[in-house]
């Protein structure tokens, strides 16, 4: 080793080069839109490390699963059977209602809301970066995941895909400071924008005048205006409205519906209108997410669909629905 005659550029020059390169990277990654596709390759390149890091947790949960007592399993089974029964009862009414809704919408010449394609994903890792709220899921470009794809859990909207890798992708949660979602109040249809606060259990409503009719307990649902999130999924409930007259706007805090701190299974939604819904993907859905699936049946986006295309779409929607019901009936027989 040579201590006096160093090879290559001097340390100062190296630092200058590193700083310039970093600044360039920050600029390109932050400002240039076309760079996103490069990021996909970079993410896939590094994903083995992510799988490796996830291994201990995987092993822990595996062993915990093996060690569950039979009593616990029986208890859980009972609970789930009950839940299934209740859900399928709801579903029976739901079918009739959604059929009726479709017919009424036809009569009104309003576009029929068509079914959404969806897929179950599992949480892989939660980010340790304290400045942002992100999670990594185990579905990626090979499963058809795309940028800013909406993601929900069994309670409500969770967030959107911010980076796609080949086999996994990164989800920006609702609560991130850089995230905003257009919502409307379920009670009176007033539109707001909900931005993340950086804390997992809080969102803020932006620019709410003092005179607006809003009170704590109001349910906020997605309004579908941003073209990213489909319409009608629950986002959160208003926790507190502070009307301080010395401020230009009231401060409204919202608690997200989705339990962002304990995510496990997530549902990816395909809200593209031009993409045909894939039936084989629908098979991916297991029973635990059926209530979501049914919610999706009626509350799909489809604002600009012509009536003709929606007729065929509603046909496929009916098919999947009947599949779902028959599945439920089988489950009932089993129980």
Partner 1 sequence: MIRKRHSVIVTTLLIALVLQIVPLPIQADLYRPDWVLIVLAYWSMALPHRVNVGVAFLTGVAVDILVGTTLGIHSLSLSISIYILAANYQRLRNYSVWQQAIVIGLLSSLYHLLTFWVQHLLTDIYFQLDYLWPVLTSMLLWPWVFWLLRKTRRQFSIT
Residues in contact with partner 1 by the rule CB under 8 A: 1-3, 6-7, 11, 14-15, 17-19, 21-30, 39, 42-43, 45-46, 49-50, 52-54, 56-57, 125-132, 134, 136, 162-163, 170, 177-178, 198, 261
On the 0-12 / 13-18 / 19+ scale of CB atoms within 10 A, 133 is buried
Q: Which is nearer to partner 1, 85 or 125 (CB)?
A: 125
Nearest to 95 by CA among 270, 253, 317: 317
Shortest Å, Cβ 247 to partner 1: 18
Q: Which is nearer to partner 1, 1 or 64 (CB)?
A: 1
Q: Which is nearer to partner 1, 158 or 212 (CB)?
A: 158
Alpha-carbon span 322 to 315, nearest angstrom:
11
3-state secondary structure of 244: coil
Helix (H) or strand (E) holding 125: strand 117-126
Contact present, 127 and 135 (Cβ < 8 Å): yes
Nearest to 228 by CA among 306, 162, 167, 298: 162
**Torsion angles phi and psi, residue 83, rounded to 5:** -60, -40
Shortest Å, Cβ 140 to partner 1: 14
3-state secondary structure of 49: helix
Shortest Å, Cβ 20 to partner 1: 10
Shortest Å, Cβ 256 to partner 1: 16
Shortest Å, Cβ 176 to partner 1: 9
Shortest Å, Cβ 205 to partner 1: 17
**Torsion angles phi and psi, residue 121, rounded to 5:** -125, 160
Q: Which is nearer to partner 1, 125 or 147 (CB)?
A: 125
Structure-block tokens of residue 324: 């779902």
Q: Which is nearer to partner 1, 128 or 242 (CB)?
A: 128
Q: Which is nearer to partner 1, 175 or 293 (CB)?
A: 175
């Amino acid at each position: 080793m040579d201590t006096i005659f160093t090879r290559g550029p001097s340390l100062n020059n190296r630092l200058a080069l590193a700083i310039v390169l970093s600044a360039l990277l920050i600029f390109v990654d932050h400002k240039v839109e076309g760079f996103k596709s490069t990021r996909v390759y970079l993410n896939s390149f590094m994903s083995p490390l992510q799988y490796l890091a996830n291994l201990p947790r995987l092993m822990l949960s595996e062993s915990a699963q093996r060690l569950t007592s039979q009593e616990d399993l029986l208890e859980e089974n009972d609970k789930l059977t009950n839940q299934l029964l209740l859900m399928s009862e709801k579903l029976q009414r739901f079918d009739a209602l959604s059929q009726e809704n479709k017919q009424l919408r036809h009569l009104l010449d309003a576009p029929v809301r068509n079914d959404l394609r969806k897929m179950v994903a599992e949480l892989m890792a939660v980010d340790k970066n304290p400045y942002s709220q992100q999670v990594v899921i185990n579905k990626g470009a090979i499963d058809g995941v795309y940028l800013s794809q909406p993601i929900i859990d069994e309670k409500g909207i969770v967030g959107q895909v911010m980076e796609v890798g080949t086999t996994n992708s990164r989800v920006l949660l609702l609560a991130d400071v850089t995230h905003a979602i257009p919502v409307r109040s379920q009670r009176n249809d007033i539109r707001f924008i909900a931005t993340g606060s950086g804390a997992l259990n809080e969102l803020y409503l932006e620019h709410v005048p003092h005179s607006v009719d809003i009170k704590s307990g109001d349910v906020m649902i997605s309004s579908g205006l941003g073209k990213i999130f489909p319409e009608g999924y629950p986002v959160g409930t208003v926790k507190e409205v502070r009307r301080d007259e010395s401020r230009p706007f009231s401060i409204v805090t919202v608690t997200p519906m989705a339990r962002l701190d304990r995510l496990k299974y997530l549902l990816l939604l395909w809200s593209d209108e031009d993409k045909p819904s894939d039936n084989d993907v629908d098979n991916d859905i297991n029973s635990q997410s059926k209530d979501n699936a049914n919610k999706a049946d009626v509350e799909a986006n489809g604002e600009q669909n012509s009536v003709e295309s929606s007729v065929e779409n509603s046909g496929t929607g009916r098919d999947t629905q009947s599949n779902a019901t028959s599945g439920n009936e089988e489950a009932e027989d089993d129980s």
